[in-house]
Structure 1
Amino acid sequence: MSDKHRLRDANFPSAREEITDHEADFPAAYRLAFRDNDFLLREELRGLRFHLELQKPEMILKEHGVHSTIAVFGSARFPSPEAAAERLSAAQAGGDPAQIRAAKRAERNSHYYQQAQRFAQLVTEHSLNCADNEQLHIVTGGGPGIMEASNRGAHEAGGRSLGLNIVLPHEQAPNPYISPEFCFRFHYFGIRKMHFMLRAKAVVVFPGGFGTFDELFEALTLIQTGKSRDVPILLIGHEFWRRAINLEFLRDEGVISPEDVNMIRVVDTAEQAWHEIIDFYNLSPGECPSD
């Protein structure tokens, strides 16, 4: 090797180069610290694990050029129209009134699945046709329901999307439509929620339960307090949200500022949500927002 090439050599071997297959033959104390799971999982190293959960997706997404996302939240319990129809048919065959009522409710709510799927298709199709290299990627919680619908819409449009799964007591498996290279798994809710907002150029929220409300109010709080820059927060479904949230009441009670009522927009369709984002960033066909 010439001296010229040696100028670029590292003085110290990398951690990967120093890994051996014989560590298991020695006492635990002898193992390299980063190869010792018992050590890494100690309570005292929780801060290090926070950092690792922050850094792993951050590094991978940067390597793939993912800079801008649209976070889509919503119920994990809303089925696709096909699954809802099958469930209703089975319930009617069984004859249990409670199961029939639940199946009819699921069938009614399955239109949100369709709207989430359609929204992700619109975003992805636009991004794939951008004049420059910047794109918007759909990011979801990686599970079923609205999350699956959104990842599915991006996948069927020919694009890539992100899934930020969380370890739960009732194990949540990633839906099959997440791009494999962007299928992440988290232990800490806080770090997961940070990743939702780090790149979000908009937050689109379908009806959902506690988790959906948690994600929605996290976004509202970050923007209200100035910790995050202003991005569109769009709620899908007037019928649900007019009963679930009453910002006017909070304003009238003086617990939020009058202008805070304007932080959200409620729409009913995927097209309306997408046009709100287009108007906010003054987009035109073939154009992407930039930082």
Structure 2
Amino acid sequence: MINGHLDKAPKAYNNREFLNSPQARTIRILTEYLEPYQRLEKNKIKDTIVFFGSARLKSRSESKKILDELNDKLKKLGNTSLKEVEALQNEIKIARKNLELSKYYEDTVELTYMLTKWSKGLKGGNKFVVCSGGGPGIMEAANKGAHKAKGLSVGLNISLPFEQYPNKYITSDLNFEFHYFFMRKFWFAYLAKAIVIMPGGLGTLDELCEVLTLVQTYKLKKKMTIVVYGTEFWEKVINLEFLAENNMIDYKDLELIKLCDTPQEAFEYLKKELKRNYVK
């Protein structure tokens, strides 16, 4: 109270209690549409190549360093319990697997570097900008390759119970943080002209299946090139042939994806399809 008067009430658009309430949910959803729209338009981002994949994978050098440190730790173990030894051996087993899978991190860097260099040389309106989920792992690798090629790249991050920080390779004005998964997915799909699915877990499977469903049901009417990278990995995870054999999908749905195994193979295919569908 000031001079016998009440303090001014906050204006509705500055009332944080209201803005974070269930009643204001539609407003929050709308901001996750309009604010990215404004920034993307300002930066002239109209066409993206989206990369999905595991947040857990690291570069080869970092993966090797972790494995070497664990092996050194095992050698230096003195009198300790069998349980502790087994726990460390399990960590080493995981680290070996991560080193093996780090090739997908390196391949992502190489592929996004090539795509960005190619895109920067295009004449006319289409500039295909790399877009990732903004976090670590394959997401970091995607932005890293674009950064090495001195190009723009987008990061669509999401707030999670376990903190996920944006990686340092995202173009600063194209670094976004979403609360709602469905609004983040909207922005992945809305601007994408091609999608590359690198090895990943449940989140990557969710993104792959959602994109395939949108294309299959013509909810996405534009031409969408979908590359699934790493035949050895994905053939053990999903079996689309089996779905077709059992009439759960049509055989023509198998044509929605292209399996690739090297950065050069994926680059040539993406370049060919993007030029055919979108380059003026």
TM over 0.5: yes
User: For 2:35, which of 38, 56, 72 is the aligned residue?
Assistant: 56
Q: Which amino acid aligns with 2:207?
A: E
Alignment of 1:123-138 (within 5 A): 123-138=115-130
- Residue 235 of structure 2 corresponds to 242
Q: Which amino acid aligns with 2:259?
A: V
- Residue 265 of structure 1 corresponds to 258
* Conservation of the 8 A alpha-carbon contact between 2:198 and 2:228: yes
User: For 1:36, which of 1, 5, 15 is the aligned residue?
Assistant: 15
- CA displacement 1:70-108 (0-9 Å, x = unmatched): 000000011101101101101111223212211111110
Aligned residue-pair number: 261
User: For 1:168, which of 149, 160, 173 is the aligned residue?
Assistant: 160
Alignment of 1:89-128 (within 5 A): 89-95=68-74, 96-128=88-120
- Residue 190 of structure 2 corresponds to 198
Q: Distance in 1 between matches of 2:157 and 2:217?
A: 27
Q: Distance in 1 between matches of 2:21 and 2:239?
A: 44
- Residue 14 of structure 1 corresponds to none
- Residue 79 of structure 2 corresponds to none
- Residue 18 of structure 1 corresponds to none
Q: Which amino acid aligns with 1:130?
A: L
Give SS of 2:130's match.
Answer: strand
Give SS of 1:255's match.
Answer: coil
* Conservation of the 8 A alpha-carbon contact between 2:193 and 2:274: no
Q: Which amino acid aligns with 1:260?
A: D
Q: Which amino acid aligns with 1:231?
A: M
Which piece of structure 1 moves more, 40-49 or 106-115? 40-49
Give SS of 2:65's match.
Answer: helix
Q: Distance in 2 between matches of 1:48 and 1:215?
A: 26
User: For 2:7, which of 10, 26, 29 is the aligned residue?
Assistant: 26
TM-score where L is the length of structure 1: 0.87
- Which blocks of at least 5 consecutive residues in structure 1 are unaligned? 1-24
- CA displacement 1:22-55 (0-9 Å, x = unmatched): xxx825xx22111111111110111111111011
* Residue 131 (structure 1) shift: 2.0
* Conservation of the 8 A alpha-carbon contact between 2:53 and 2:198: yes
- Residue 174 of structure 2 corresponds to 182
Q: Which amino acid aligns with 1:168?
A: L
* Residue 133 (structure 1) shift: 4.4
Please tell me the root mean square deviation across aligned C-alpha atoms, in Å.
1.5
Q: Distance in 2 between matches of 1:87 and 1:167?
A: 27
* Residue 134 (structure 1) shift: 2.7
Q: Distance in 2 between matches of 1:101 and 1:86?
A: 14
Q: Which amino acid aligns with 2:56?
A: R
TM-score where L is the length of structure 2: 0.90
Identity of aligned residues (%): 37
* Residue 281 (structure 1) shift: 3.1
Alignment of 1:83 onto 2:33: no
- Residue 73 of structure 1 corresponds to 52
Q: Distance in 2 between matches of 1:173 and 1:282?
A: 34
* Residue 172 (structure 1) shift: 0.4
Alignment of 1:141 onto 2:122: no
